[in-house]
Structure formats: C-alpha cells, structure tokens
Amino acid sequence: MKQRKISAGMVLAYLLLMACTKKQAEEFKPEAPETPGAKVSYAAVIDPIFKARCNGCHSAGRSGSVAWTFSGLSSVTADADRIKNAVLVKKSMPLGGSLSATDLQSIKDWFDQGMQP
Ligand code: HEC
C-alpha cells in the first residue's frame, strides 16, 4: 500500500513537471527575423537579397551598372536615396520582376533603422 502511494505521487509530480516545461517552451518562442520592426542587418538580411535580385544586372560591366553599380554595403549606402526611390517608391527595380512583401518590408526596415551593417 505504502509503495503504491509513492508511485502515484511520483506520477503526479512528473505530470506537473511536463505541463510546466511545455508551457515555458511555448512562452519563449523567438521572434522570426521577418517580423516587422525587428532589427535588420545588412549582412544577414539585405546582402543576400541584393546579391540574388540586383547583382546580376548591377555588378560591374552588366546592363544596369551604368545607372548604379552594386558592390556590397557601401555601394548601397552611397546611393540610398536612389535605391529607396527605385525599389520602395516607384517599384521599378528589380527590372522585369518584383520583390516579395517580406523582402520589401526588410529593405524598408533596414533603411528606416539607419542601414545597420
Ligand atoms: C534585369 C536587370 C535588372 C535587375 C534585376 C535590377 N536592375 Fe536596377 N537597373 C537596370 C537597368 C538596365 C537600369 C538603368 C535603366 C533604368 O533605369 O531602367 C537600372 C537602374 C537602376 C537604378 C537607377 C535608377 C535611377 O532612377 O537612377 C537603381 C538605383 C537600381 N537600378 C537599383 C536596383 C536594385 C536595388 C535592384 C535589386 C532590387 C535592381 N536594380 C535590379 C537593370 C536591373
């Protein structure tokens, strides 16, 4: 009888522990990097977008390079106003295509946050 009492108590303690652990895991979910307003860095978020969506036409010698030559962070900050205008306002770039809503939001946040490296 004494033996049964102990194991019932242990089962109850185990269940309570599991319930707590599960609840904590749900509360501490990290924010996704695409969340509007989250800190956006050039290296982690913006550089991959520009490399995939702009570099093909804007690297040195390509069709778009006369208008603007892409060569990493400093080439973007140096022409920030023209890039903002083309990508976020007129949406004329990327030429012949468009960026996802997530990429547009990331680029907007990055400019708004002062172009963090
Ligand atoms: C398919 C080729 C192509 C792609 C992709 C492309 N561009 Fe362009 N871009 C051009 C060409 C060609 C020009 C010059 C003629 C023009 O303005 O339409 C240009 C012009 C520009 C200009 C100058 C506009 C102005 O008004 O002074 C900027 C800034 C620019 N592109 C930024 C970008 C950015 C940022 C991306 C990526 C999001 C991008 N482009 C993607 C071909 C492209």
Query: 13 with 67, same domain?
Result: no
Query: 56 with 100, same domain?
Result: yes
> What does the angle CA 73 – CA 77 – CA 62 come to, to the nearest 5 degrees?
65
Quote the pTM value: 0.77
pLDDT, tens only, 26-49: 555 544 555 655 799 999 999 999
- For residue 107, the enclosing domain spans 42-112
pLDDT of residue 61: 97
d(CA 94, CA 87): 7
**Residue 83, ligand 1, Cβ within 6 A:** yes
Residue 95 covered by a domain? yes
| Residue 111: both structure tokens together | 């400019």
Query: 26 with 69, same domain?
Result: no
Residue 92 covered by a domain? yes
pLDDT, tens only, 46-92: 999 999 999 999 999 999 999 999 999 999 999 999 999 999 999 99
Instruction: Name the residue of 53, 57, 103 to mutate for ligand 1: max ligand atoms within 8 A of Cβ.
Output: 57
From the DSSP assignment, how many helices (H) and strands (E) are in the chain?
6, 0
**Residue 38 CA, ligand 1 centroid: distance in Å:** 27
